[in-house]
């Protein structure tokens, strides 16, 4: 059985063990990356295709007549035309829960850095300002504690729940937003307009859908406390990036930690990459990327293929 991995370098930095994946699919051909005009040729004879971010549209799937299984090396499957796959009778599997520990850790790395003003203090030492201080310490930037603060979570799946558990250890109060687009009231959930004015920290963990695109815009930012912090490790399109940048410049928001942008990589620039924005930390979609997380993904890919071969498909999307 012939398989192809279209963009292995998006997952592997040479530090992963592909032993189990190669055992279940011995004839696996790996490409470091695949351009759009190379996809059709590379999957033409494949029965199994693994893709992280390479697009598999209807026209491409229609040409791949031997294809039977698509394994997405991610949780999001927006790069696959699922309707076309269903028409072809193709099984599509994704990976789930592999990066929870890594993402939760990253959320608090961003949050703690912003609350303790870690980047500013690090820069102060590098510039020699501590060395020139008149006393033993330098306290030029206000430090805040997480204990006693209120965290609002939008998206209460595995990631949101993981963040909530750690927040409670820090002594934070956790509020969960009602699912965006939900018609009926959800027990224990708070509508976003009511939640936003209450929180000191807002952490986003929901998928990007028609209901959540632009979820945090001018009105939502205006509802938040002036010293609140926004953390987004979900999807860039959830937040109006221009408005967020302006809110930070104007002091209408206390800070933001962002691991995702609306276009990745940001080849055409992005409003949040400007150098004059205070209290902002931007990381390059790296929250999920611990070695342990990526290795778990490889193991799930192997499990997905083995399950399909055994007639007991797991993590099926369609």
Say which residues have a Cβ less than 8 Å from residue 201's Cβ, sequence separation at least 6. Answer: 111, 146, 149, 150, 151, 152, 172, 228, 229, 230, 231
Q: Which of 235, 294, 296, 315 is catalytic?
A: 235
109 C-beta neighbours (distance < 10 Å), count: 16
3-state SS class at 27: strand
Report the alpha-carbon distance of residue 64 to residue 75 in Å, rounded.
Answer: 23
| Cα–Cα nearest to 4, from 54, 57, 48, 36 | 48
Which residues, 6+ apart, have CB-to-CB distance to 107 below 8 Å? 163, 166, 203, 231, 233, 257, 287
The active-site residue out of 29, 189, 249, 285 is: 285
Question: Does 264 participate in catalysis according to the annotation?
Answer: yes
The answer to whether the CB of 150 falls within 8 A of the CB of 176 is: no
Residue 29 known to be catalytic = no
Tell me the β-bridge partners of 258. Answer: 232, 282
Q: Which two tokens stand for residue 202?
A: 């807002």
87 is known as an active-site residue: no
Task: Give buried/exposed letters for 43-78 (b at 16+ CB in 10 A, else e).
Answer: beebbbbbbbbbebeeebbeebeebebbbbbbbebe
Helices (H), the chain: 19-24, 39-43, 58-63, 82-88, 100-116, 118-126, 158-169, 192-195, 218-223, 241-249, 291-309
Q: Which of 38, 168, 264, 292 is catalytic?
A: 264
Position of tokens 């031997």?
A: 66
Q: CA-to-CA distance for 162 and 67, rounded, in angstroms?
A: 37
Pairing of strands 150-154, 173-176: parallel
Catalytic (active-site) positions: 235, 264, 285
């Amino acid at each position: 059985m012939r398989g192809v991995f279209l963009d292995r370098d998006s997952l592997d930095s040479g530090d992963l063990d592909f032993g189990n994946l190669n055992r279940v699919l011995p004839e696996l051909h790996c490409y470091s990356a695949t351009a759009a005009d190379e996809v059709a040729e590379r999957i033409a004879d494949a029965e199994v295709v693994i893709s992280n971010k390479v697009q598999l549209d209807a026209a491409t799937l229609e040409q791949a007549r031997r294809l039977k299984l698509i394994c997405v090396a991610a949780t999001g499957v927006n790069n696959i035309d699922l309707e076309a796959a269903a028409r072809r009778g193709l099984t599509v599997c994704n990976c789930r829960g592999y990066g929870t520990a890594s993402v939760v850790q990253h959320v608090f790395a961003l949050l703690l850095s912003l609350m303790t003003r870690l980047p500013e203090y690090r820069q102060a030492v590098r510039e020699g300002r501590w060395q020139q201080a008149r006393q033993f310490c330098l306290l030029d930037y206000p430090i805040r504690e997480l204990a006693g603060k209120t965290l609002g979570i939008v998206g209460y799946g595995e990631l949101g729940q993981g963040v909530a558990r750690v927040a409670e250890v820090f002594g934070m109060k956790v509020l969960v937003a009602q699912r965006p687009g939900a018609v009926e009231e959800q027990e224990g959930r708070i509508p976003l307009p009511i939640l936003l004015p209450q929180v000191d920290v807002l952490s986003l963990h929901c998928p990007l859908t028609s209901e959540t695109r632009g979820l945090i815009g001018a009105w939502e930012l205006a509802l938040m406390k002036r010293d609140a912090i926004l953390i987004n490790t979900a999807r860039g399109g959830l937040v109006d990036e221009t408005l967020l940048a302006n809110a930070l410049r104007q002091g209408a928001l206390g800070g933001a930690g962002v691991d995702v942008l609306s276009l990745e990589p940001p080849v055409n620039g992005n409003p949040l990459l400007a150098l004059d924005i205070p209290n902002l930390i931007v990381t390059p979609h790296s929250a999920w990327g611990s070695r342990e997380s990526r290795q778990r993904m490889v193991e799930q890919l192997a499990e997905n293929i083995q399950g399909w071969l055994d007639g007991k498909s797991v993590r099926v999307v369609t």
